[in-house]
Chain A
Amino acid sequence: MNTKLKISKISKIYPGCIANNNVSLNFESGKIYALLGENGAGKSTLVKILSGVINPDKGQIFLNDKLLKLTSPKDAKNNNIGMVFQHFNLFETLSVFENLSIDSEKNNYQLRILINNILKKYNFKIDLDVPILNLSAGQKQKVEIVRCLIRNPKVLIMDEPTSVLTEQETEDLFLSLKKFSKEGILIIYITHKLKEVLSLCDEVAVMRKGKVVSISRTVDEELSSLANKMIGESLNKIKKMTSNNLSGEQILSVSRLNFNSEDPYEVNLVDINFTLNKGECLGIAGISGNGQNELFQILSGETLSNNGSIKFRSKEISKLNPRERREYLMAFSPEDRISQAAVPSLKIYENVALNNFKTSNFFEKGLFNEKKIKDHSKKILSNFSVNTDNVNLKSQFLSGGNLQKLILGRELITSPELLICFNPTWGLDVGAINYIHQTLVKINEQGKSIILISTDNDELLQLSDRISVINKGKLSKIMSAEEVNPEKLGLLMGGGLVD
C-alpha cells in the first residue's frame, strides 16, 4: 500500500532561535528521502516533532491524508512511525529478546516467532539470547531496526545512523534500507554526509537555519552542488578582518598524534599534524562529532596523547595535565561552558579559582587566599564587562554570554600565549558574540595565538588565518583563509573530498 506523509508549515521557535521555520515537505513510499543539513539546521527538531518527542508551535502532519496528533512518542508508534536514533535506547545488560519484548504487547512465544521471521527475511544474524553489551554497534542498530519492524512501520526515520558504524556495516545497512523501501516502507534518512545521500537516497531536502532551502532528486545533484546548498552562499561575503604581522615564530607543533578510544561513541584521531605560529589563529572546522571534542581534550591535557606528539615552544608537553600546561601559559575554553568550564553552584570567585597554577598564588602554602582571589575576580568582571560586580554571586545566575565572558576573562587575564577555544560563541546572543569575536581578534593582535575549534563557519572565516577541516578524526590539509570557499568547506566537512 502506498504511504504518503505530508508535513505542512511546521514551525518551532525556541527562545532566541527559530529551529523550524515554516517547513513543508512531502514524502511518498517507494523512495528513500534524505534530510541534509549542518548542525543546528533544524533536522533534529523536525525529527523529534515527527516522533512526538516535541510539539510544534504551528503546522500539521498528515499520514495518508489523515491529520496526525503526535503529542508523545507513543502516538508516533501507534501511527506506525518508527525511529532509530543515533544513540541507542537499549538496556545493555538485558538480552536482545528481553529488550525487544519490553514494549511489545505480544506474548513471548508469538514475539519470538515474529522476530525470527524478520531476522530470516532480512538476513540479520543476531543471537536473541545474548546481552546487548556483547553486540557490535552495527548489531545494536539492527536490534533497534527490528524493534521498529515488529510494529509493521509505514514510515521509518533514521537519524544519523552511520555515525557509529564501520564501512562494512554501513553497506549492510544501506542494503537493508533499500529492501525496506522496495517493500513499501517510507524511509527518511537524516544525515550530513554528502556521499551517503548520493549513494542511498532518491530525493534530498536540504535544510539551513531552520528552513528548507532546496528539494531535488539526487540524480540531478553532485557532491559540490549539495555542499554549496548545505553551507550556503553567504560565506563569500564575509572575509577575515584581521591582518596581523605573523612573525613566523612557532608556538605549538602537533605531530603524528593518534588517539584510540575504547568508547564507541568517541571518535578516534588519526595522524594529526599541524603547527601554529605566534599571533596566528588556526580555525578547525567540521560537523560536530567528528573528533573535535577528542582533539580539544588532548590539546588541553584532559586526555593524554602519545609521547612526543605535542610540543609547546619545542618543549614536550604531551604528558602534562591541564594545570601543568597552564604553567606554560596555555589557556582553555571548552565547549561545555555550563557544566565543564564552570560549576553552576559555585560562586564567581570560586569558579575563578579553578584556573589556578603556581604563579597565580591563589593558594599560599595550600591555604585558600580568599581576598586575593576576590580581587582578581573583580578585575576580570570589570575588564571583560561581565554585567555584575558581585563576586559572591553563584555563576548559575549569569546569562550564557556573561558566563562565557567570565570564562574567557579568567583564561585570558593571565596573558596566556596560546588560547584553545571550542565553540566559544555557541548559543549566545549577537551582542555577546560580537564582544567575544572582538576579544579574540584583539589577543591575536597582541601576538597571542589561538586555536579555534568551531562548528560555526562564519565565525571561522571571520577570525582564522588558516583553516583545516576535521572529518572522522582526520584533519584535512591546512588552507589559508583566503583560498577557502563554501564549496570546498562543504565537501571537506561532508567527507566528500579526501586530500
Chain B
Amino acid sequence: MIKIERRDETSNLIYFLTPVLAIFLTLVAGAIIFYLLGFKPSEALKFFFITPISDLYGLSELLVKATPLCLIAIGLSFCFKSNNWNIGAEGQLTFGGIVGGGVALLFYNHEGFYVLPLIILAGAIGGMIFAMIPAILKIYFNTNEILVSLMLVYVSKLLLDYLVVGPWSNPEGFNFPETRQFSDSARLPILFDGLRIHAGIFIALVSVFLAWVVLFKTYLGFQIKVSGLSLKTAKYAGFKGKTMILLVFMVSGACAGLAGVGEITGPIGQLHRMISPEYGFTAIIVAFLGRLNPIGIVFASLIVALTYLGAETAQIFLQVPKYTGQVFQGMILFFLLASDFLLFFRIKFLRFKKYEY
C-alpha cells in the first residue's frame, strides 16, 4: 500500500531549489522529445538554449522578452500571494496597450519630453482599470475571478482587433491591420545602438525593488501574506478583505498595463493585432517558477524568456514549429508542480497489514 504523508517542515533551501530541479527535468524531458523526433538531443538543446544567447544581440533579445514577463509576474505575485487568481494579465496588458497606444496616436505629430511619461501613465491606468472589473465583480457579486479575468482577455483582444482594422488603422497603411507609427518622443529610448534592448528594463527593475519592499517590509505586504495563508485568520485579524482584493488587482493590472505599453513604445512602435505573444499567460508560469518572490521572478523571467528565443532558433535550424517553446513552458510548470508535491508530501510504501480483533 502506498501512503502519502504531509511533511512536517520543508527547508527554505529546498523550496528555492525545486524550481532548479524542475528546469533540469524539463531539459531531460525535452532531450527525450527531440530524440523521439529524430534529432540529436545534445545538438537540439544547444540550438534551443545556448545558440540564442551566444552573442550580444541574443542577450539583448533575451532581456527584451524577459522585461514584460518580469513586470507582469511581479504584479501577479501580489494577486497570487493573497489568494486572488488573476488569470487575465494578457487582457490587462492588451488594454493597457490600447489606452497607452491611444494616447501615443493622439500625439503622433507632437514632440516633447512629456509625451512618453503620459503614454506610460495612461497604459498603467488602462491595465489597472481593466483589472478592477474582475475585482469589483468578485467583491460585490462573489463571481469567480478566474473566469471573469480570463474571459476579459478575449474582450480586450477583440477590441484591439476592431481598433486596428477600424477607427485607428493607419490612413496611409494600405488597409494593413495596424496603426500609424508612434512619434519618436513616444518611444522608449534604445540603450545600445543596433540592439533592441530599451529603457523598459528600468521600469521592470524598479518594480522588482518596490515589490520587494512592499511584500516584505510593510503592513500591506503582511496582510497579503496572511490572507494568502489563511483567509479565516485575515478576517479574524480584521484586515479589510474587500479593499485588499481591489488593491492587489490594481497593482497586478497596472504592472500588466506597463508591460503592454512597454512593448508598443519599445520594440513595436505602433499598435497591431499581435502586441504580445501571450506574455500575460506565460507570466503566470514565471510567477510560480520564481516562487512569487520578486528576486526569484527576475531569474524565472530570464529562463522562460529563453524558451521564446529557443523556439525561434529551433524553428530556423531544426524546422520544428515555434510552439515547441510553449511545450517547454508547459513542461516547466508541470515539473514544478510535480516537484512541489514532493516538497510538501512524502510517499511511504507500506506492507499490507492484517487487522486483528
Contact = CB atoms under 8 A, between A and B. Distances in A.
Interface stretch (B37-45, B153-161, B198-206, B216-224): B216-224
Contacts of B3: none
A366 B219 contact: yes
Interface in A317-345: 321-326, 332, 334, 336, 339-343, 345
A321 B233 contact: no
B348 interface: no
A69 B355 CA distance: 9
Contacts of B225: 346
Contact of A323 (B222, B233, B237): B237
B233 A354 contact: yes
A212 B233 CA distance: 39
B135 interface: no
B191 interface: no
Contact of A366 (B220, B232, B355): B220
Interface in A188-237: none
A346 B219 contact: no
28 contacts: A60-B357, A71-B355, A300-B236, A322-B235, A322-B238, A323-B237, A325-B238, A334-B236, A336-B232, A339-B233, A340-B232, A340-B233, A341-B233, A345-B229, A346-B226, A350-B222, A353-B222, A354-B236, A354-B237, A356-B219, A363-B219, A363-B222, A366-B218, A366-B219, A368-B217, A368-B221, A368-B222, A396-B9
Q: Which residue among A324, A336, A343, A356 has the maximum number of chain B CB atoms within 10 Å of its CB?
A: A343
Interface in A343-395: 343, 345-346, 350, 353-356, 362-363, 366-368, 394
The 4 A-B pairs at the shortest CB distance, nearest first, are namely A323-B238, A322-B238, A363-B219, A321-B238
Interface string B220-255: 111001100110110111111000000000000000
A229 B219 CA distance: 53
Contacts of A324: 238
A368 B357 CA distance: 58
Contacts, number: 71
Nearest to B213: A367
Given A67-B357, A69-B355, A368-B219, A346 B236 contact: no
B239 A323 contact: yes
- The bracket for how many chain B residues form the interface is 20 to 34
B236 A340 contact: yes
A60 B357 CA distance: 7
A67 B239 CA distance: 56
Contacts of B216: 368
A69 B232 CA distance: 40
Contacts of A301: 238
Contacts of B233: 339-343, 354
A271 interface: no
Contacts of B229: 343, 345-346
A341 B233 CA distance: 6
Given A321-B240, A325-B238, A368-B219, 7 more contacts: A322-B238, A339-B232, A343-B230, A343-B233, A345-B229, A367-B218, A368-B217
A55 interface: yes
A434 B242 CA distance: 40
B356 to A, nearest CB: 10
B355 A55 contact: yes
Contacts of B240: 321
A323 B244 CA distance: 15
A67 B356 CA distance: 12
A302 interface: yes
Interface string A69-81: 1010000000000
Nearest to B221: A368
A321 B226 CA distance: 17
A394 B9 contact: yes
Q: Which residue among B9, B221, B222 has the maximum number of chain A CB atoms within 10 Å of its CB?
A: B222
Contacts of A322: 235-238
Nearest to A59: B357
A334 B236 CA distance: 8
Given A69-B357, A366-B219, A341 B226 contact: no
Contact of A343 (B9, B217, B220, B226): B226
A394 B221 CA distance: 19
Contacts of B236: 300, 302, 322, 332, 334, 340-341, 354
Nearest to A341: B236
Contacts of A346: 225-226, 229
Contacts of A69: 355, 357
Nearest to B353: A71
A146 to B, nearest CB: 31
Contacts of B235: 302, 322
Contact of B226 (A55, A354, A368): A354
Q: Which residue among B217, B219, B355 has the maximum number of chain A CB atoms within 10 Å of its CB?
A: B219
Contacts of A354: 226, 233, 236-237
Contacts of B239: 323
A346 to B, nearest CB: 7
Contact of A326 (B218, B238, B355): B238
Interface string A446-457: 000000000000
B238 to A, nearest CB: 3
B27 to A, nearest CB: 31
Contacts of A334: 236
Nearest to B10: A345
A334 B234 CA distance: 13
A343 B232 CA distance: 9
Contacts of A321: 238, 240
Given A340-B233, A346-B226, A346-B229, A363 B218 contact: yes
Contacts of B355: 55, 69, 71
A55 B354 CA distance: 12
Contacts of B221: 368
Contacts of A336: 232
Contacts of A71: 355
A230 B172 CA distance: 90
B306 to A, nearest CB: 33
A42 B243 CA distance: 44
Interface string B342-357: 0000000000000101
B21 to A, nearest CB: 22
B232 A355 contact: no
A71 B232 CA distance: 35
Interface string A387-417: 0000000101000000000000000000000
